[in-house]
Amino acid sequence: MKINETNRIGAINPYHKQNEARASEAGKARRKDEVQISAAAKEMLTTSKANSAERQEKINQLKQSVASGTYHVEAGKIAEKLLPYLKE
């Protein structure tokens, strides 16, 4: 039996070195992601319509009509809104 290229055994070392480097990096403290919300964005959240009393009233009315089974969906209005997207 003949074994060719006996020096290929050393080719494993670069991979081994990469694994060692990754392992040492994992041990170090990593920076954590941070999110900063600007003052303008915070102001937009506070003045949002989603938090208004009128919006909440409408949501409650919709919930009641769905729960009682009196909520009616108009297929024509839905089709009109979807039509521009389907034409593209």
Kindly state whether residue 16 falls inside one of the protein's structural domains. no
Q: Above pLDDT 70, what percent of the chain?
A: 69
Kindly state whether residue 4 falls inside one of the protein's structural domains. no
Tens of pLDDT, residue by residue over 6-33, are 666 555 566 667 777 777 666 666 678 8
Query: Which tokens hold the place of 53?
Result: 């009393």
Kindly state whether residue 6 falls inside one of the protein's structural domains. no
Residue 43 confidence (pLDDT) above 80: yes
Query: Which tokens hold the place of 81?
Result: 């809104």
pLDDT at 69: 93
**Distance (Å, rounded) from C-alpha 73 to C-alpha 79?**
11
- pTM of the entire structure? 0.37
SS3 helix, strand, coil % of the chain, rounded to 5?
70, 0, 30
Residue 3 confidence (pLDDT) above 70: no
Kindly state whether residue 56 falls inside one of the protein's structural domains. yes
Report the residue count for the chain. Answer: 88
Write the CA distances from 78 to 17, 45, 85, integer angstroms.
61, 29, 12
Kindly state whether residue 2 falls inside one of the protein's structural domains. no
Kindly state the average pLDDT of the residues 22-46: 79
| Tally of domains in the chain | 1
pLDDT at 20: 74
**Residue 15 or residue 69, greater confidence:** 69
pLDDT at 13: 64
Kindly state whether residue 71 falls inside one of the protein's structural domains. yes
Q: Quick one: DSSP state of residue 72?
A: -
Kindly state whether residue 5 falls inside one of the protein's structural domains. no
Instruction: State which residues form the domain around 74.
Output: 50-87
Q: Which residues contact 65 (CB under 8 A, 6 or more apart)?
A: 71
